[in-house]
Each structure stands twice: as structure tokens, then as C-alpha cells.
Amino acid sequence: MLPLAVLAAAALAVAGCSSSSSSSSASSGTTSANSSLGTFYFISHGCPTDPFWPPVWNGAADAGKQLGIKVDILHITSSECGSTSAEVSLLDTAIAAHPAGIATTVTDATSFSSALQTAAKDNIPVVVFNSAPTASGVPSTANPYLAYLGQQNYSAGQGLATEAASEFSLSKGASVVVIDHEPTNISLTQRLQGVKAAFAPMGITPTVVNTSDDISQGSSIVSSYLATHKSVAAILTLGTTGTDEVAEAQSSAGTHFKIGAMDLDTTTLSYIENGTVTFTVDQQPYLQGYLSIVELFLDATEGASPVSISTGPVFLTSSNVKALAKYVTHTGY
Amino acid sequence: MTADQGEPVKGATIAAGSTAGSAAAGPVGGGAAGGPAGPGPSGRDVARTSRLGGSQLLYRLLRQREAGIVLVGVILFIVFSILSHGNFDSLENWGGIGSDAAELGLVTVGVSLLMICGEFDLSVGANFSFAALVMAIMIQDHYPPLEALLVDLAIGAGIGLLNGLVTVFLDIPSFITTLGTFFLWTAVTLIVTGGVTVTILPPSPTLLKVLGGSLSGQIRTEVLWWLGVAAVAGIMLHRTVTGNWIYAVGGKRSAAIEAGVPVTRTRIVAFTICGILAAFAGAVQLGHLGSMSASFGTTYQLEAIAAAVVGGCALMGGRGSMLGAVVGTIILEMLDSGLILSGVSPYWYEAVVGIILILAVAMHTRLGRLTRGGD
Amino acid sequence: MTAPSGAAGNRPAAAATEAPWFEARGVGKQFGGVVALDGIDVSFRRGEIVGLIGDNGSGKSTFVKIASGVYQPGRGSIALDGKGVRFRTAADARQAGIETVHQDLGLVDTMSIVRNFFLGAEVRKGLFLDMRHMRRETVKMLEEIGLGNLRDLGQDVSRLSGGERQAISIGRAVAFEKKMLILDEPTSALSIAETEKVFEFIRRAKERQLAVVCVMHNLAQVRDVADRFVVFWHGKKVADLVNEGQSERELAEYILQGKLIEMGIERSELDSDAIRTLAQE
């Protein structure tokens, strides 16, 4: 009834007041003067359950704390995973808040155009990280923004293929399987294109197996594949979810095919340490989060134009991964 | 027979309590010129208003089923405006809310209508993506956009029709049927499209601009489509024979059967309409975003049910309105941006939606006992 | 009509149409393994009131649902005015002129009086419902059944008392009645005065040359109003007798006759106490 509604509204008001004051106190690291800059919004399409993303969010949060600015990290809810319009809606809302700056991912070539154009018109500085509307990451009139921080997915894919070819001594006609765990994800598609392009002159045509964001579902798909295809030269994955799925499938199937992975999280790290996975191609997601905020900050305070930064690929194998261990836990992988 | 033969004066309610005056003499009930508001005396009969006076009109408006939830919406609006230091009520923000609301709203109109008829459709999300993907692929392949839109709507109608036929003729609860068809169409989408995102690069065809382009600044045409469709659906529900049948079939199917209402036909029509609207919503989103993929529609089935219920549709059927569907959608969308602009952590969003959902249903149940329903 | 022999007074009116209007021949209906009706042969004349009586589970309500088009007969046929008909839905029966008050009243609780009243018989003006006309007619009907003080037509039917709802359900059938009126337990929620009003309607319907079928378990009431009794037992018709002033007990005996036959006992062997005991089983 009405009293209940009023109660609910009051509860919201209290929640709102308390959390806005708490987030500003969380970000008051060094200079409190910097909180006068306003809010910086950090928007991503990352599913809360995807282990790839916490380092990105931690990077942004750490940058905010160290610079003493207010960073609001927005991401879509777990029930909205995969919905681009949910992320666009976050972007629209952030723009309506007239913020100091926005860092966002862009997962296809047209869905964000209108919002990006509005932000440009309103003179809100926008940088894009992790996923860009085009493979090159270069902005355009349709999709205007200041800089792209991330990995060139296409070249990362190429790197995956060439590294796999050398590590696993792949020869012409070798049977290579690539696991695509999110066929609708443009970043993965770009990586896959890179893989295929790099393999082509070697005379290798990889087989693509589409799985899913759901690890148990995905690993059973991989298991069924492995059960019917006995001679596999190498299995390549396009991300941590895919890596988890393949590792699980391998352990239940009892096979020992060589795995080359992409991206890094604690599970992938442990797989490299115990030899399940030979190497991984890391895009340094922590840097994507961290540097995006730093660039927006410098733009707001010093007028320094953000520049595009290639945060990867970096190849991680058992030889250099130990040195990473400390870095990995700190950045919250 | 005259009234003085010891008639059932007990309970011969002249409307609850203090508004006895509004009953007045003569044939009662609201005016014939009702709007798309749901069953409920439409306080828009001008002749009556002038006789009754303004305050009586206010009473009647307040006692509409939707009054409660509209009030909740207004309260939320005020709360968010304050907490967001004015950002919430900016035109920009409402432009954004409007377009998200339009996409969810179109699906909600269909889901609400079907819920009033006593059925569920959990396949709307898969319908949304599949129909819009086919439309996107056709446009990419240079088919006339209008044709592509018609195919989208036809797919929606087909999916809805199938849901209806299976539910009615195999006598399976619609919840189960549509859960099954949800999985079916999700799989078909992936098979047909290979899971890629289909993008229509600018310049986008005029039709897409008409469906989801911007009217001025952040205000988009989608909002007009949504409100227009809701109005038409509302008029159909409240002012036509089919609408009366939909309420009856959902309210008490046995009574509808006994009265000779064509129950089977009515149910199947309701399923089909719901399917068409879900597909249309997908087309509108395609117009807005320019891209479509299998995952774009995933959230809609549960969100649309939540919006319908918040807006006053009874889960059991027989109650609800298009006005409620619109208000419920707006409230859910308001929560989304309102929480962000108020600086509340986005992790709270789902918790708040859950709380509002429960409170809204409790409110509708309680208020329902006090307010009049019917017509 | 309280004098026992007053039933004889009904007969001249009943003789007005001798040929039956509604004829059921060999009508049977099964639900799964349960036989609800087992070959019913019964006919109803215009201008005659038939009291359909029988114990619980005798198939009266099933018969009502078949006659009103809600169920389709598993076997057998129905003829109206000598012509065979098949009711695919209740709409067909209503169109043929048969109006029914079902035991559950057939009202949608979440809808208003007006919408319930015109359910299945909505009046259109162009594409839309003619609400003004429907409201007017509803008010008229309410006044006729003595609910004229129910001013708030907009309220849900669920907010009315049991008696009011029953009155509305009956009034609806009476308002739309054309050739035949079937009432299944129409007085269960009514007071004595209200029941008398229902009988008024029934008698008036008869005067208007409708065939009236009244299912009632209150034997005192049914013998007051019926011209003829039809007795069901376990899905079969076991008696079809003109109302000659039979007492309640006699009627009870007919109802139980089927049971007695099953038990192989002659009616004359039992005294009234034994019959009363059996009646209670």
C-alpha cells in the first residue's frame, strides 16, 4: 500500500545517501581537492561472473583511489549478460550525469554510435578500452572517442597462432581446434580472424568449436568433441572461459592435448604452473582499467589528450609466469 | 418486480464508504468514452464530471487500479531527482529511459495482454532476437527493409501462434510450452546465424530510422511506437468484444466457456499478439542500435513479467491493463538509471527491483480489495 | 402454488405444445473410466417446467452441460424441434435459444456486473462495445430482479454477496432467454423471499412458452413449481412422471429407486424409516 511505497522510497533515499557518501570517502586517497572534478564513469559489458573482468575493474578502482577521484564502475547485471542494449543504456545514463569523463567498452560498430556522438557533442571526454567498434580501434565520425586502450584483438589472434605453431611444432595440415566460447563477442571474432589468417600461410585450417558462457555446458560440448576426434595437435582458446572449459573437458576425458590460451586469470595461471596450459596471450586487462582512468584524469586536469595504448599481447609461459604471481594476486586476478 | 420485496439489501454496496455521492441517481458506471485505461470507471465522462464536480473526479481517478502504482512512480521520480541533484529529471536522461522503456515496453504490452488472458510467454526473448536477426540479415543482404520488417513480424506471429496451438491443443501449461520454445528458438537462432552479431553499417535505411531513430536529441521514435501500440492494445482490451473475452478467459475460463465465449480462439489470438509484439520490439531495437545478435533479447522474458506485475497484472489472469503495463515498464527503467545517477552502487539494482516487485504486488493485492475494478 | 393438487392446474398450460422441443436420445458421456451418463432419453416441451432431480453423482449436472453445449455427448443425439443438432460450444446452444444458469453461476469475479451480464452476448456499436446500451440494459435487469439499489455497476462481481451473484446469474439467463431455460440449483444461496422471486421468473418463462428445466435437490421447492419430474440415478433416467402432487417422500423413493433395484429390494418391502435411512447413505 501507500505506506509501503513511501517506506520503500525512504529506504532508497537512505541507501542512496549512504552509498554516495561512502563511495566518495573510498576514493579520497591522496588529494581531496580532486573530488571536485566530478565523477568518472567506467562502463563495461563484463558479466559479473566472468573471471576476466575483476582485474579490469580493480585497475580502474585502484587508479581512482590513487588519484583521489570518484570513479563509478558500472556494469550490466548478471541477468543481462550479453545484452548490448543494457550496456548502451548505462552509457546513456552516464552521459546524462554530465560526468568528468567516461571510459567504456564498445562491442559492435553501430550500437554505441548515437551515445558516443551525443557525448562528443556534450564535450564529455570518452576513451574506449578492451573492445572497440573496429578491429583497428581507430575512432570515426560514426563512433567518435578519444583513444583506445587495449589489445589489437586481430594481432593477438595472430600471435596466438604463431606462438602455438612454434611451441607445438605444428606442421602443414595439423588438426588444430579453436574454442569460441562467445560467438557473439566481437573481440573473440576478431581474435579468431587473426588466428585463421596467421595459420593460413602455414597450410593449417583450424576447426572452430562454439561453446558457451556457461562453463559446465561448454565443457560438455568440448568433451563430446574430444571423444569423437582422437588426434588433435593442439587446442586453442580465445579467453579464460574457454580455457576453463577445455581444462575441465580434458581432465574428465583423460586426454592430454596441448593447450594454448588467451587472457589470464588465477585459474589459467595455475594451469600454466601445473602444465595443463602451455602458454597464454595476455592483454593485461588491469592496465586497460588503470590507464583509462589515468588518461581521463590527465585530460581533465592537464588537458592532455588521451592516446591509444596497446596493452598486449604479452606471451606468458611457465618460464615467466612465476614472476607474475605476485603481480597477479595484487591486481586481483 | 420492485425493489421492496425484501431484497438483498445486505451487501448491496453502493461503492465503498465516503464516495456514496458519486453513485448518484440513474444508470451509473463511467462514461462511454473511456481511454486505454484498464477496466475501471474512466473518469473521463465529461457530462458526469460537470455534474459530480472536480473532487469526485479525483476520487474516481484515485480509485482506478493503476492509481497506486502511478503514485509509487511519482514518489520514485521525486526521490531520484533529489538524490541525483537534478540529473535524473533531465531531458537527456529521460530520452535514454524512454528508448530502453520502449523496447522493454513493447514486449511488456504483449506479455501483459497474454497474462490477462491467463497465460505466460517465456519465449519472448528468443523471439525478439531471432526475428530481428533475420530482419537484420535480410537488410544486410539488400532486401527491401520493409519486406524484412514484415518477415520479422511474421516470424513473431508464427512463434506466438505455435505457442498458442501447442498450449491449447496439447493442453500443456503455457509456462512449460514457452519454456520449451524459448530453448528451441534460441538454438535455432544460433544455428541459423552462427552466433555472430549482425551489424548494419550506416547509412542506415530509412525504415530503421523510422523505427528507432532520434526525433530530436535524445528523444527517439521508439517511444511513440511503444505508446501508440500500448494505446491501441488498451483500446482493444477495454473497448472491444475481444478484449472482454480476454479478461473473461483469464478471469475464469469455465465461466467464459459456459457463456459461449470462443475460448480457444481467444487464447490463440492472445499468444499471437504477444509474439508479434516481441518481434516488433526486436525490430525497433534494431532500428535503435543498428546491430543485433542472439544474446540481445535474453533479459526480456523475466523483465517483462516483472514490469507487467509491477504495473498491476495478476499472475493468475483476469486483471491488469495497458496503462499498468506502461507504468510498470517506466518504473523498472527509472530504477535502472535512477540508482546510478543517485550514486547507489549498481549491485543494488537487482535487489531494489526485487523489493519493488514484492511491494508492488502486495500493494495491488491490498488496494484491489478497496478499489473498484470492472467497468 | 402451494396446494399439492395445484399441480393439476399446470397442465392445461403444458398442453399448449404437445410436441417436445428438446429431445435427447441415447445420450451418453464418459470421463476416463467413469460413466457419467448412460443412454439418456428425455424430452422437454415448450411451456412446461420440468424438475430434474436425483442424488449426487446421478449425472444431472453433466446432462445440463451437454444440453447447454459446454460438453459434447460421447454418444447419442440431440434434436431441437425435430431437427438434429450438434452444439460444438455453448455459443451454439445459446444461439439455438437455450440459456443456462450453471451451478457455479458462470460469473467472472474479476469483471464488472455489466461485462458479466453481456458475456458471450456483447453488443457492438461499430468496432467497439456499446457500453451505454449494455449499461442501460443491465440496470433494467437489476431492477427486475430486485437489485435496483446496486448502483455501482463498475464494481467487480466478486464484491457482491452470494445471493446477489446468484440473482444476477439468473437474471442474465432470463434476460436473454428465448426458447429454453435451464437452471442448475438456482436457489442454493437464496433466502425464501428470493427463492419465491426465482419461481416467479420460472413461471413467467413458462407462460412465455419456454421449456424450463430446473435441477434442484430441494424436493419441497421442486414439487411447488414443476409440472413434471425427471429422475436420474447413476447416469440413467429412472422415472419420468407428471406432477400429481407427489409428496417429498414419494419423490425421495423415486430417487432411491435405482439403489433399491441395485440392491434387489422391492419398494413395497420397505417402511418409511428404512427409506429415510437409505436416503441418508
Question: How confident is the model at residue B45, as a pLDDT?
Answer: 41
Question: How confident is the model at residue C273, as a pLDDT?
Answer: 65
Give CB contacts under 8 A, 24+ apart, made by C205-209: C205/C174, C205/C177, C205/C181, C206/C13, C206/C47, C206/C48, C206/C49, C207/C13, C207/C47, C208/C177, C209/C16, C209/C17, C209/C46, C209/C47
Establish, for the pair of chains B and C, how many residue pairs have beta carbons separated by less than 8 Å: 193
Question: Is B258's CB within 8 Å of C68's CB?
Answer: yes
φ, ψ at A110 (rounded to 5°)? -125, -25
Say which of C115, C120, C127 has its CB closest to residue B375: C115
What interface predicted TM-score (ipTM) does this complex get? Answer: 0.86
- The more confident residue out of B71 and B53 is B71
Quick one: CA torsion of C129, C132, C136, C141, rounded to 10 degrees?
20
Say whether residue A143 is in contact with chain B using an 8 A CB cutoff: no
Question: Is B293's CB within 8 Å of A93's CB?
Answer: no
Peptide bond into B41 cis (omega under 30): no
Question: How confident is the model at residue C110, as a pLDDT?
Answer: 92
The 8-class DSSP code of residue C161 comes to -
The structure's pTM equals 0.83
Question: Is A16's CB within 8 Å of B291's CB?
Answer: no
The C-alpha angle C52, C53, C55, rounded to 5 degrees, equals 145
Question: Is B289's CB within 8 Å of A75's CB?
Answer: no
Say which of A4, A74, A81 has its CB closest to residue B362: A4
Say whether residue B294 is in contact with chain A using an 8 A CB cutoff: yes
Residue A314 C-alpha cell reads as 604479452
Say which of B71, B196, B204 has its CB closest to residue A5: B71
Q: Which B positions 91-130 lie with beta carbon below 8 A of chain A?
A: 92-93, 95-96, 99-100, 103
Say which of A72, A96, A184 has its CB closest to residue B295: A184
* Alpha carbon distance A244, A271 (integer Å): 9
Q: Diameter of chain B by CA atoms?
A: 77
Nearest residue on chain C to B313, alpha-carbon basis: C110
Question: How confident is the model at residue A325, as a pLDDT?
Answer: 66
Nearest residue on chain B to C157, alpha-carbon basis: B374
Question: Is C136's CB within 8 Å of B27's CB?
Answer: yes
Whether residue B297 contacts residue B282, with contact meaning beta carbons closer than 8 Å, is answered with yes
Question: How confident is the model at residue C227, as a pLDDT?
Answer: 94
* Alpha carbon distance B194, B199 (integer Å): 14
Do A and C make contact via 3 or more CB pairs under 8 A? The reply is no
CATH superfamily of C22-246: P-loop containing nucleotide triphosphate hydrolases (3.40.50.300)
Question: How confident is the model at residue A4, as a pLDDT?
Answer: 54
- B20–chain A nearest CA distance, Å: 23
Residue B230 C-alpha cell reads as 500500448
Rg (CA), chain A: 21
Q: A244: Cβ–Cβ under 8 A, 6 or more apart, which residues?
A: A215, A219, A267
Of A1-15, A73-87, C130-144, C172-186, the one with minimum mean pLDDT is: A1-15
- The more confident residue out of B357 and A4 is B357
**Which whole number is the average pLDDT over B158-168?**
98
Judged against a pLDDT cut of 60, whether residue C8 lies above it is answered with no
Indicate the SS3 state at residue C150: coil
Residue C206 C-alpha cell reads as 413458462
Judged against a pLDDT cut of 60, whether residue C38 lies above it is answered with yes
Point out the residues of chain A with pLDDT beneath 50.
Answer: 1, 16-33
Question: Is B90's CB within 8 Å of A9's CB?
Answer: no
Whether residue C138 contacts residue C167, with contact meaning beta carbons closer than 8 Å, is answered with no
Smallest CA-to-CA distance from B237 within B269, B282, B259, B278 is with B269
Indicate the SS3 state at residue C71: coil
Question: Is B82's CB within 8 Å of A84's CB?
Answer: no
The DSSP line for A275-292 is: TSS-EEEE--HHHHHHHH
Of C17-21, C176-180, C244-248, the one with minimum mean pLDDT is: C17-21
Q: Is residue C108 classed exposed, middle or buried when 0-12, 13-18 and 19+ CB atoms within 10 A define those classes?
A: buried
Nearest residue on chain B to C88, alpha-carbon basis: B260
Question: Is B32's CB within 8 Å of C132's CB?
Answer: yes
Mutation for testing the B interface, residue in C71, C100, C110 having most B CBs under 10 Å: C110
> 3-state SS of chain B?
CCCCCCCCCCCCCCCCHHHHHHHCCCCCCCCCCCCCCCCCCCCCCHHHHHHHCHHHHHHHHHCCCCHHHHHHHHHHHHHHHHHCCCCCCCHHHHHHHHHHHHHHHHHHHHHHHHHHCCCCCCCHHHHHHHHHHHHHHHHHCCCCHHHHHHHHHHHHHHHHHHHHHHHHHCCCCHHHHHHHHHHHHHHHHHHHHCCCCEECCCCCCHHHHHHHCEEECCEEHHHHHHHHHHHHHHHHHHHCHHHHHHHHHHHCHHHHHHCCCCHHHHHHHHHHHHHHHHHHHHHHHHHHHCEECCCCCCCHHHHHHHHHHHCCCCCCCCCCCHHHHHHHHHHHHHHHHHHHHCCCCCCHHHHHHHHHHHHHHHHHHHHHHHCCCCC
**pLDDT digit string, tens, across residues B178-211:** 999 999 999 999 888 877 789 998 888 988 888 8
Judged against a pLDDT cut of 90, whether residue B88 lies above it is answered with no
Element (H, E) at C115: helix C113-117
φ, ψ at C223 (rounded to 5°)? -75, -15
Complete edge-to-edge strand list for the sheet that includes strand C20-31: C34-45, C20-31, C75-80, C83-85
Band (B28; pLDDT cuts 50, 70, 90): very low
* Alpha carbon distance C163, A212 (integer Å): 61
Complete edge-to-edge strand list for the sheet that includes strand A176-180: A207-210, A176-180, A234-237, A259-262, A279-282, A314-317
Judged against a pLDDT cut of 60, whether residue B137 lies above it is answered with yes
Do B and C make contact via 3 or more CB pairs under 8 A? The reply is yes
Question: How confident is the model at residue B42, as a pLDDT?
Answer: 41
* Alpha carbon distance B77, B334 (integer Å): 8
- A115–chain B nearest CA distance, Å: 9
Mutation for testing the C interface, residue in B5, B239, B258 having most C CBs under 10 Å: B258
Number of H helices and E strands in chain C, helices first, is 10, 12
Question: How confident is the model at residue B68, as a pLDDT?
Answer: 82
Whether residue C275 contacts residue C249, with contact meaning beta carbons closer than 8 Å, is answered with yes
Q: Which residues of A touch B95 (CB under 8 A)?
A: 92
Element (H, E) at A220: helix A215-228
The strand pair at C75-80 and C83-85 is best described as: antiparallel
Question: How confident is the model at residue C271, as a pLDDT?
Answer: 62
Question: Is A16's CB within 8 Å of B83's CB?
Answer: yes
Domain positions in chain C are 22-246
Judged against a pLDDT cut of 90, whether residue C21 lies above it is answered with yes
Nearest residue on chain C to B248, alpha-carbon basis: C108
What's the one-letter identity of residue B249? V
Question: Is B3's CB within 8 Å of C149's CB?
Answer: yes
Distance of CA B231 to the CA centre of its chain: 10
Give the neighbours of chain B: at least 3 Cβ pairs within 8 Å.
A, C
Whether residue B149 contacts residue B283, with contact meaning beta carbons closer than 8 Å, is answered with yes
What's the one-letter identity of residue B250? G
Question: Is C156's CB within 8 Å of B27's CB?
Answer: no
Smallest CA-to-CA distance from A264 within A285, A245, A249, A278 is with A285
Of B227-241, B312-326, C248-262, the one with minimum mean pLDDT is: C248-262
Indicate the SS3 state at residue C158: helix
Alpha helices in C226-271 (DSSP H): 248-263
Element (H, E) at C65: helix C60-67
Complete edge-to-edge strand list for the sheet that includes strand C228-233: C98-101, C180-184, C211-215, C48-54, C228-233, C236-242
Of B87-101, B126-140, C212-226, the one with minimum mean pLDDT is: B87-101
Cβ atoms within 10 Å, residue C209: 15
Question: Is C108's CB within 8 Å of B248's CB?
Answer: yes
Residue A148 C-alpha cell reads as 583506445
Of B298-312, B314-328, C6-20, C169-183, the one with minimum mean pLDDT is: C6-20
Report the phi/psi class of residue A68: left, alpha or beta, with left for phi > 0 and alpha for psi in -120 to 50.
Answer: left
Q: Which residues of C touch B32 (CB under 8 A)?
A: 131-132
Mutation for testing the A interface, residue in B340, B356, B364 having most A CBs under 10 Å: B340
* Alpha carbon distance C64, A310 (integer Å): 81
Band (B58; pLDDT cuts 50, 70, 90): low
Question: Is B29's CB within 8 Å of C153's CB?
Answer: yes
Residue B179 C-alpha cell reads as 519454456
- The more confident residue out of A207 and B60 is A207
Cβ atoms within 10 Å, residue A314: 17
Q: Which residues of C touch B255 (CB under 8 A)?
A: 104-108, 116, 119
* Alpha carbon distance B229, B105 (integer Å): 10
The 8-class DSSP code of residue A108 comes to S
Question: How confident is the model at residue A26, as a pLDDT?
Answer: 37
Question: How confident is the model at residue B266, as a pLDDT?
Answer: 97
Question: Is A113's CB within 8 Å of B202's CB?
Answer: yes
Question: Is B350's CB within 8 Å of A79's CB?
Answer: yes
Establish, for the pair of chains A and B, how many residue pairs have beta carbons separated by less than 8 Å: 176
Judged against a pLDDT cut of 50, whether residue B35 lies above it is answered with no
Q: Which residues of B touch C154 (CB under 8 A)?
A: 28-30, 40-41, 372-375
- B78–chain A nearest CA distance, Å: 9
- B282–chain A nearest CA distance, Å: 11
Q: A220: Cβ–Cβ under 8 A, 6 or more apart, which residues?
A: A249
Judged against a pLDDT cut of 90, whether residue B287 lies above it is answered with yes
Judged against a pLDDT cut of 90, whether residue C159 lies above it is answered with no
Question: How confident is the model at residue B310, as a pLDDT?
Answer: 93
Specify which residues A73 forms β-bridges with. Answer: A42
What's the one-letter identity of residue A65? K
Whether residue A101 contacts residue A300, with contact meaning beta carbons closer than 8 Å, is answered with yes
